[in-house]
Chain A
Amino acid sequence: MKSIVEVQQLIKKFPVGNGFFTALNEVNLSFAEGEFAGLVGPSGSGKTTLLNIIGSLDVPSEGEVLVMGHPVGKLTAAQAALLRKQQLGFIFQSYNLLPVYTVYENVEFPLLLLDLPASERKQRVLETLEWVGLTDKVKSRPAALSGGECQRVAIARAMVKRPALVLADEPTANLDSENSHRILQTMLKLNEELKTSFVFATHDEKVISYLRRIIRLQDGKVVADELVNL
């Protein structure tokens, strides 16, 4: 299988006081196309930090991360933006929907950045909202939605441009158990049907139970990396 992310000798240090705090310490990882993998570990183990660097929202201190062959540490801000725009989708713990826009408009936004023609945008937005089961809420504002529905909008927004890789940081943290399972089933379905790779950062057992690959982090190091046999 083709590799889409290569993490090589990654070190991430944050300045604290007069010194540095090492959040990630010599991490080596590789993600292939179509994976449904999770970074799992206790709080402070470096999950979010790693996810942010893979998502080109942050840069390595040492080592390198290749995303679709692009070295994240060497990209200019504009190149990183382009990479995110074309290849990456993000899902956050706090759904981060734009409150003044409708469900439809929130999902359409990434396509506006891609300069797609209106007809294609419409078709894709409606199709994506169908995947997540929100066709009856297109005109609603986020304030009128439940937490589970908000997170489904966020999934649709991440998926609408058919990214190669979706990065999801604690996507179920604000959801009850039933909604968590629905969200995960939706994502698993999209992973299987569209071959989109998913990488999670989580310590939620519900999420972990869906993962096909579990990467355990502790104090910024990978301590285990195992495939789950179904």
Chain B
Amino acid sequence: MIRFLFKGLLRDKSRSLLPVIVVAVGVMMTVFLHAYLEGILNDSIEESARLSSGHVKITTLGYHENSSQRPNEYAVTAVDRLLEALKHDFPDLQWSERILFGGLLDAPDGEGYTRSQGNVAGAGIRLIGSDEEIERMDLRARLFAGRFPEHRGEVLISNELFKKMKLRLGDEVTLISSSMYGDMAMYNFTVCGTLHFGIAALDKGMVYADIEDVRNALYMDDAAGEILGFFPGNYDEKRALQLQEAFAPDGSGDEFSLVLTPMSKASGMDFLILYSRYAGFIIIFIFVFAMSIVLWNAGLLGGLRRYGEFGLRLAIGESKREAYGSLVGEAVLIGLVGSVAGTAIGLVFAYLMQEFGLNAGDMIKDSTLMLPTVFRAQITPMTYVIGFIPGVLSTVIGAMLAGIGIYKRQTAQLFKELT
């Protein structure tokens, strides 16, 4: 009997090949979209981690609570000793000290009068003597003109600000900011290069200087606003939460006590991580819904077309349960075959997208998000299975809905609908 039904299924292309293709296409899109979204979200998360939040970030409690103001009066002190301890306690993590500051950049003319001025957000990072941060932040690709600082007192400026202030490479600029102790601080820099990020917030007015220069400028000897920690691989929420636990055992609550913040709890990041966590569910939901409608319709049409056949089979003596079962069984088979095929094709596309990526640098020139410029897919274990949910589920639901007609109608009625 099974063989008989199977034979019929294979011979009737509108019942086998066609639905398999529909399912395969839908599953392929699901699989690819999942990998694609997973890739973009992950890249965005990693990009944000590298540029600003770290996978985890150590600050003082006071700094953490006012982090939008970059309150360097709450900077972490005795950083050298702290870094040594961190390297010892968490040898697989990488740690990077950074100072963020705000201020005014002043370009004097030959006589020392102000020629032009601009508001800046600055960052002191390790630029001289180590390539670690340059590589981490992918600054080489973002260097628009000039070179990286090689000597003390050299600074990188975002290209937009550079043009707005009508600067030339080699010009002297003065940073006017406030010191760690709240006094006004002035420091002279030489512009050695410009950067272009393609991220509006950074391009508007960003200054990158070597951290030692910034320490000199803001009287922050052996201090840093924040210390970023990076896992060897991608962000790992569980590990980050464990570190947070381990790091603040006493929780004394002093403003200068150190806290470790997982990136999921950094402001602006939480939504991204939450979104990525549920991206899979969102896609599944959308596709199960959309595909259910498509396949339900296909199943309904197929089922209606077959009411005559089912009427006949019932007349010959098949029970409604057997007939319904064979309809659903067929759907399971088609769903599985279509899902396997669709997953395979989707994975191939996802793999290509993972390996080669899609350069979207121009398309997102002025994004406000810290989106990476090359879109890459990322295949996760979920990518292999996610397609089966819409693939099998919607097909079966479609068939079940279509098959209800068989149950509800009097057998004699099934014939009338045929003629």
Contact = CB atoms under 8 A, between A and B. Distances in A.
Interface of A: 52, 55, 57-59, 77-78, 81-86, 88, 90, 92-94, 96, 98, 100-101, 105, 108-110, 112-115, 157
Contacts of B410: 57-59
7 contacts: A52-B412, A81-B320, A82-B319, A84-B316, A105-B4, A114-B317, A157-B316
B411 A57 contact: yes
A94 B321 CA distance: 25
Given A85-B317, A113-B317, A98 B1 contact: no
A88 B314 CA distance: 12
A12 to B, nearest CB: 11
A98 B309 contact: yes
Nearest to A58: B412
A96 B321 contact: no
A55 B69 CA distance: 86
Nearest to B411: A57
A84 B315 CA distance: 7
Contact of B316 (A58, A59, A85, A93): A85
Contacts of A84: 314-317
Interface string B306-318: 0011011111111
Given A78-B321, A82-B317, A84-B316, A101 B412 contact: no
A101 B411 contact: no
Interface residues of B, number: 25
B8 interface: yes
Given A57-B412, A113-B1, A96 B312 contact: yes
A81 B12 contact: no
Given A84-B314, A85-B318, A96-B418, 16 more contacts: A55-B315, A57-B315, A57-B410, A57-B411, A58-B412, A78-B319, A84-B317, A85-B317, A96-B312, A100-B7, A100-B8, A100-B12, A101-B8, A105-B4, A109-B4, A112-B1
A98 B316 contact: no
Contacts of A58: 410-412
B11 to A, nearest CB: 4
A186 B315 CA distance: 22
Interface of B is mostly: helix
Contacts of A98: 8, 309, 312
B415 interface: yes
B419 interface: yes
Closest 6 CB pairs of A and B: A85-B317, A81-B319, A57-B412, A100-B11, A84-B317, A52-B412
A202 B361 CA distance: 78
A59 B413 CA distance: 12
Contacts of A100: 7-8, 11-12
A113 B316 contact: yes
A94 B12 CA distance: 21
Nearest to A56: B411
Nearest to A112: B1
B312 A110 contact: no
Contacts of B311: 96
Given A84-B315, A92-B415, A96-B312, A112 B11 contact: no
B415 to A, nearest CB: 7
A105 B7 CA distance: 10
A203 B317 CA distance: 27
A81 B418 contact: no
A154 to B, nearest CB: 10
A92 B308 CA distance: 12
Contacts of B314: 57, 81, 84
Contacts of B319: 77-78, 81-82
A226 B419 CA distance: 32
Given A57-B410, A57-B411, A58-B410, A96 B8 contact: no
Contact of A81 (B7, B317, B412): B317
B312 to A, nearest CB: 5
B6 to A, nearest CB: 11
A105 B321 CA distance: 22
A172 to B, nearest CB: 16
Contacts of A96: 308, 311-312, 415, 418
A90 B315 contact: yes
B8 A86 contact: no
A78 B410 CA distance: 13
A172 B168 CA distance: 100
Nearest to A141: B11
Contacts of A157: 316
A115 B313 CA distance: 15
Contacts of A105: 4, 7
B316 A110 contact: yes
Given A94-B418, A100-B11, A112-B1, A77 B317 contact: no
A84 B410 CA distance: 15
Nearest to A51: B412
Contacts of B415: 57, 92, 96
A105 B8 CA distance: 10
A112 B1 CA distance: 6
Nearest to A93: B419
A11 B61 CA distance: 88
A157 B415 CA distance: 17
Nearest to A87: B317
A82 to B, nearest CB: 7
A94 B415 CA distance: 10
A212 to B, nearest CB: 25
B330 to A, nearest CB: 13
B32 to A, nearest CB: 34
Contacts of A57: 314-315, 410-412, 415
Contacts of A90: 315-316
A86 to B, nearest CB: 7
Nearest to A83: B317
Given A57-B411, A96-B312, A81 B8 contact: no
A139 to B, nearest CB: 13
